[in-house]
Structure 1
Amino acid sequence: MESKFLDKVKDNAAVRMWSKKTQLEKGDSLAEGYISGLSGFTRINVTQNELQELRDIWARWDVETKQLFYQSYGDLPYLLDIKVDKYLFRAMAQFWNSAYSCFTFGKVDLVPIVKEYIALLRCPKVQVDKVYSKAASALAFVKKLMSITRMSEQWVTARIQQNGDGRCIPWVSLRDLIVAHPDTMRKVEVFALSICGLVIFPKALRYIDEAVADFFDRLDKGVTPVPAILAETFRSLSACRRTSEGRFIRCAQLLLAWFHSHF
């Protein structure tokens, strides 16, 4: 986190060459009769969770606690320092081509791929050949939170709230737990869960969604969330372009880190 994310982004020249070669070989993938083209101006809202409280907690931790986090979850905290430039993001969104699910800059098409996002995520538990999908026999939300936080069922149940069509837990409840929990490993795990919910898979502002707990519960098994992150990123961009407005509700930090790695 202390080092700048741009210092660690690898050269993507090989990926670009592979992408160009594949497109030339495979040709166009659009349905017959469909015309590709960039739509008009999109009034995209890139409001994200305020991450200062997470940054403050991280800054107060000693070296040993930070090392424990790095060993378990890699360098995820660097995402907290990526400033979401709303003007740059809005400019990028104007070049999102929903027909091809890629950015079209003149004659150049660019799109994040799994390999790039795995490198940018910097989480050692992620394995490229283990794609995340929700388990059919997944534990209930309450049980997952009990397992992660090591808190009682009564404590967890009292804090779960209904938000729209899903359930979630307020960030303030997890924040207070991180600050007060006597077990250092529990602090680290709840902090990692909070980064996943507030940065990587943000939905409702200042809440951690039930789906995030399901992913986090399976992170120990080495599954990669990257295909899900990319799919949700593409879906959110396309939804905003389709309606010419809307809030981008996925990880703007990762998308901007990817963008800077190419330019």
Structure 2
Amino acid sequence: MVRKMQLEKGDSLTKGYTSELWDFTCISVTQNNLQELKEIWARWNDEVKQLFYCNYGDLLLLLDIKVDEHLFRALAHFWNSAYSCFTFGKVDMVPTIEEYTALLRCPRVQVDKVYSRAANVQTFAKKLMKITGMSEKWVTAWIKQKGENKCIPWKSLQDHIFAHLDTKKKVDVFALSIYGLVIFPKALGHIDETVTDLFDQLDRKVTPIPSILAETFRSLSACRKVGEGRFIGYAQLLLAWFHSHFWKVDKVSYRVFSENYSPLKELVETSRRDDITEERWMSILQNLQDEDVEWKAPWMVPNEILYRCGDFDWVPLLGIWRAVGYTPLLMLRQYRSRQFIPTTQGLAQCEFSYKDDNYKRKIQEMSSAWKQIHRMKRFTVGVMATPKYYEWWSKRVNDNISEPGHENSQSIEEHIRVIPSELEIIKQDFERRNTELEKKIEQMEEEKMNLKLDVDVQKLEAERLRKGKTKAEEDLDSLKTDYKKLRRSMRTARLEKTLE
């Protein structure tokens, strides 16, 4: 049924389409200074930290993920806004709801309910009162106007976190600060009113990941269409997703991770090169092949895939400033499922701003669609894609994506692997040999000790046997003497009886 629908409805772009994207995109990924957030965390005791983990998963680990600006700028150039995906060489990929949920370890919140109720119409002040637990007077005193939006300075929230007596509220404000300063740094040093909309989803035990994806897609598309701009979104999480699929070190796809396993923590602790230029990253991504991709992230084991909502043939996403959509069926290989031709017709036209005409009606349509979601079982096969998919992909209208270059055919491992210096290699080899020799010496010492103990034991046993033999011989001689005496006595007694 799904395949038939795809073939009947066709592609998002039609023949003759002319791209309006620039050949090159200059993107800025300016981030806030996060040291103060780290210092607050360091002061908390284990009980408060555990409460934060229970409510917000691994959100805190984003503070330790360094944003590689060269890589990020290169990634932006390969964003295909018509299909809401990255097109690397001959490969289409995009972060998915399931992957982001697993990365942040927040599966307990309900993805399905993210848009199932009308948009919160509370004022910024009311939202802050609910989150901080403070009075309207306090909140109103700190609200500032910055451009078109209202916001609250980070310093005000910082002081509030230190002084708050309610642990739950303290944790909530800290999480709000991370979302405001890390994920959506639109107004540097301020928490924007739109961030509280995102936080409101968490407060309702609803994952904000679909909204985060919507803003990520929206911001990438906006930068591509104008050829420049500042990225507004989850830069750290997007890079974590990228490395999960492309950093081929210690493949662990066979491992079964426990509930306590944290993919973000492992990514934070993995050392990576940071001296690769934007141009070199462009060359790497431009020449990407199927075999360069770790299609399913090793920690990702989904049972079902969300692939459409309501009457939409894709998944509509309502962001903070704009609505977009993406097609999970285009990414089936990322779930280690067989890839077939996806339904994308109309996807390129589904994006709209909340300032457009009739945008409220469109929002209501998308919200209603999320009340009827469709999932499909993940299935694994030997062949990663159908022949018709490759045929469709080769004829698909490309949206201003650079053609692969042939001047550099190195694999991705050869491009980005960390190459140690000659001195480091000698040092590592010496340490390895030294460790092996130390183990051999320990083994020989142990064997020597065992042999020495064996000799002593054998000597004691031999001495015991010798003494036992001597004693047995003495007892035998004594028995022989007594026997002879008894025989003589018996003969003497019979002789005396005969004489009588």
TM-score, normalization by structure 2: 0.45
Deviations 1:183-209 (A, max 9, x none): 222211110111122223332111111
Partner in structure 2 of residue 257 of structure 1 = 240
1:44 partner letter: I
Partner in structure 2 of residue 4 of structure 1 = none
2:195 partner letter: V
Conserved? CA contact 2:22–2:226, under 8 Å: no
- Change in Cα spacing, 1:25 to 1:196, as seen in structure 2 (3 Å) is farther
Is 1:248 aligned to residue 248 of structure 2? no
**Residues 24-33 or 168-177, more deviating:** 24-33
Partner in structure 2 of residue 75 of structure 1 = 58
Distance in structure 2 (CA, Å) of the matches to 1:213 and 1:37: 34
Distance in structure 1 (CA, Å) of the matches to 2:15 and 2:200: 42
- Residue 66 of structure 1: which of 28, 49, 72 is its match? 49
- Change in Cα spacing, 1:139 to 1:92, as seen in structure 2 (3 Å) is same
Q: Which runs of 5+ in 2 are unaligned?
A: 247-500
Distance in structure 2 (CA, Å) of the matches to 1:132 and 1:48: 29
- Change in Cα spacing, 1:25 to 1:86, as seen in structure 2 (3 Å) is farther
Distance in structure 1 (CA, Å) of the matches to 2:178 and 2:81: 28
Distance in structure 2 (CA, Å) of the matches to 1:38 and 1:141: 36
Q: Who wins on radius of gyration, i.e. which is larger? A: 2
Is 1:30 aligned to residue 13 of structure 2? yes
Is 1:227 aligned to residue 215 of structure 2? no
Is 1:91 aligned to residue 96 of structure 2? no
Conserved? CA contact 2:25–2:223, under 8 Å: yes
1:210 partner letter: E
Conserved? CA contact 1:74–1:123, under 8 Å: yes
C-alpha deviation, 1:117, in angstroms: 1.5
C-alpha deviation, 1:229, in angstroms: 1.2
C-alpha deviation, 1:31, in angstroms: 4.1
Distance in structure 1 (CA, Å) of the matches to 2:33 and 2:7: 43
C-alpha deviation, 1:121, in angstroms: 2.6
- Change in Cα spacing, 1:87 to 1:70, as seen in structure 2 (3 Å) is same
Conserved? CA contact 1:197–1:209, under 8 Å: yes
Identity within the alignment, %: 72
Conserved? CA contact 2:12–2:82, under 8 Å: no
- Change in Cα spacing, 1:135 to 1:211, as seen in structure 2 (3 Å) is farther
Q: Secondary structure at the match of 1:222?
A: coil
Partner in structure 2 of residue 168 of structure 1 = 151
Partner in structure 1 of residue 86 of structure 2 = 103
TM-score, normalization by structure 1: 0.84
- Change in Cα spacing, 1:28 to 1:36, as seen in structure 2 (3 Å) is farther
C-alpha deviation, 1:143, in angstroms: 1.5
1:71 partner letter: C
C-alpha deviation, 1:221, in angstroms: 2.2
- Change in Cα spacing, 1:250 to 1:137, as seen in structure 2 (3 Å) is closer
Q: Which runs of 5+ in 1 are unaligned?
A: 1-21
Partner in structure 2 of residue 180 of structure 1 = 163
1:123 partner letter: C
Deviations 1:63-85 (A, max 9, x none): 11101111222221011111111
Distance in structure 1 (CA, Å) of the matches to 2:54 and 2:176: 15
Aligned length: 242
- Change in Cα spacing, 1:154 to 1:133, as seen in structure 2 (3 Å) is farther
